[in-house]
Amino acid sequence: MGENKSSTLAIIAVIIAASGLGVGAYSIFIEGPPGQDGTNGLDGLDGTDGLDGTDGLNGTDGIDALGGIVVGVLEPDHGEIVSGNVTIRALISGSDSYTVQVLINGWLNATYVPFQWNTLEVSDGLWNITVIATDVGSNNVSQNVVIVYVKNPSDTNIYYCSSQSEIELALSSIGTGHGTIMITEDITLTSTINLDDGGSYVIQGVGSITIDRNADDETFSITNTQSCIIRDLMIDASDLTGENRAISIIDYNTNLLHIENVKVYGDGGGYGIYVISYDVSINNCDFYNLTTGIYAMSAHRHRITGNLIQYMTEHGILAFTNIEGVITDNIIRYCYDGIEIRHCMLTTVSNNVIRNIGRYGIYISGYGCTFTGNSIAYDNFVNNADVYGILVASFYYYNTIVGNVISLIDADGTGTGYGMTINGDNNTVVGNTLYDNDNNTINDFGLNNVIEHNIEG
């Protein structure tokens, strides 16, 4: 992209000038003269730090080099205009063992590179891409930031639909291309909407729109797409029973699958969303009175964030055989089990609020997973049975449980409310707070667990 950088920067300068924001506030798009070798780019305008004269683009945070680890973003270029699928690549050196985080405008999107970012799900404008590498041994951190301008093509393929037949006709017209389906009226389906033609789809409601399948079957079945976004809809799943699903995602393509602002409400049965896929994000959705809110199975790198999950007869969130998942900032209430991590690896569960559980707040049968900042409280609707704030199952190792708060776990009968029980080995349990539970002790039945600096009382 080097030969196009000047023209790219000029285009962005025109965009900013036209917006009235002023060049001074966005001087990052002025390319300075080369920095001097090994002097942190002092001759450039805030250039990248000390990469032997690398040309500095104002506004990059530069590259930290603590403890020898160094990260540099290779793609996209700083100042580049991007659209569609954007590959984020980085070079990491100086460490044999490290972790990676890819943040876009401060939000964690991936824990690996290269990473495919589809800009069709974001608005046009300036976006910060930050790649952070952390050396496992020293815990030293290096990061590099590039700023790009998203300029998505205008989508002329918009279909306004008020019936199932119109939705299916629109999908047929889109085929393997791309298009947006705007649902303008409440619809009762006579069969499942199948997304299986390999296209790129956006399906969204206009206003408060309800989709009713009116049968014990799927509302949406996603099996073959380039990308798919479903948002701003309510799904009446009151006819679902057992393990049938409102939204089923069984799509093994490397693509973007995104469910946002969707409410699924039932009558005590069915799964809200069932996932067997990669790179699925489920954000700001509402699940009410189902069997399980979200069941993510073999769903590598899924992101489940900011959802409200209430009155599940089994699980709020069940993650099964997943790798590198992120489950954060969800509110889970009145569910028999809050979050269950089963046979997962490298999954992060953080800052969730779990209330009024029947058996487990968080159940852990994972390897190398991290649980931090979760708040778990109250058991008051299942009596005479043992209940656990956090339970680590036997034969599960190297999990990190830090800074969680567990309180008021009370079995209300012949059972016992345990704040935390560790049955696995080689886990790290540090800085957690337990109070007002039937049992406030961190019960350690495993081997070689590190349990320290916790408040138990």
CATH code: domain of residue 103? 2.60.40.10
DSSP state of 36: P
Q: Assign 359 to helix, strand or coil.
A: coil
Task: List for the chain the helix, strand, coil content (%; round to 5).
Answer: 10, 50, 40
Do 318 and 372 reside in the same domain of the chain?
A: yes
CB distance 437 to 389 below 8 Å? yes
Interatomic CA distance for residues 45 and 78, integer angstroms: 14
Do 229 and 345 reside in the same domain of the chain?
A: yes
Do 222 and 331 reside in the same domain of the chain?
A: yes
Do 61 and 173 reside in the same domain of the chain?
A: no
Interatomic CA distance for residues 102 and 108, integer angstroms: 6
Do 217 and 246 reside in the same domain of the chain?
A: yes
Which runs of E-coded beta strand occur in 184-283? 187-188, 193-195, 200-205, 210-212, 220-222, 227-237, 245-251, 256-266, 271-277, 280-283
Domain C-terminal end among 150, 177, 200: 150
CATH number of the domain that 312 lies in?
2.160.20.10
Residue numbers of the domain that contains 134: 2-150
Domain C-terminal end among 115, 150, 185: 150
Taking only the tens of pLDDT, the chain with its 457 residues reads 444 444 444 444 434 333 433 333 333 333 334 444 444 443 444 434 433 433 434 444 444 444 589 999 999 998 898 988 899 999 999 998 999 999 998 889 999 999 999 887 787 788 999 999 999 988 899 999 999 988 877 656 899 999 999 999 999 999 988 899 999 999 999 999 999 999 889 999 998 899 999 999 999 999 999 889 999 999 999 999 999 999 999 987 766 789 999 999 999 999 999 999 888 999 999 999 999 999 999 878 889 999 999 999 999 999 999 999 999 999 999 999 999 999 999 999 999 999 999 999 999 999 999 999 999 998 766 655 789 999 999 989 999 999 999 999 987 777 899 999 999 999 999 999 999 999 999 999 999 999 999 999 8
Interatomic CA distance for residues 285 and 232, integer angstroms: 9
Do 164 and 121 reside in the same domain of the chain?
A: no
pLDDT for position 381: 60
pLDDT for position 385: 79
pLDDT for position 287: 98
CB distance 363 to 387 below 8 Å? no
CB distance 253 to 224 below 8 Å? yes
Do 59 and 165 reside in the same domain of the chain?
A: no
Do 21 and 169 reside in the same domain of the chain?
A: no
Do 180 and 162 reside in the same domain of the chain?
A: yes
Q: In this structure, how many other beta carbons lie within 10 angstroms of the beta carbon of residue 162? A: 15
Interatomic CA distance for residues 187 and 164, integer angstroms: 7
Work out how many domains the chain is built from and give that number: 2
Do 378 and 239 reside in the same domain of the chain?
A: yes
- What is the reported pTM? 0.70
Domain C-terminal end among 95, 126, 150: 150
The per-residue b/e assignment along 363-392, b for 16 or more CB within 10 angstroms, e otherwise, is: bbbbbebbbbebbbbbbbebeeebbbbbbb
Q: Both tokens of residue 279?
A: 């790179």
pLDDT for position 154: 65
Interatomic CA distance for residues 343 and 366, integer angstroms: 5
Give pairs for 127-130: CB < 8 Å, separation 24+: 128/103, 128/104, 129/73, 129/76, 129/88, 129/102, 129/103, 129/104, 130/61, 130/101, 130/102, 130/103, 130/104, 130/106
Do 63 and 194 reside in the same domain of the chain?
A: no
pLDDT for position 64: 44
Do 121 and 105 reside in the same domain of the chain?
A: yes
Residues in Cβ contact with 431 at an 8 Å cutoff, skipping those fewer than 6 apart: 402, 403, 453, 454
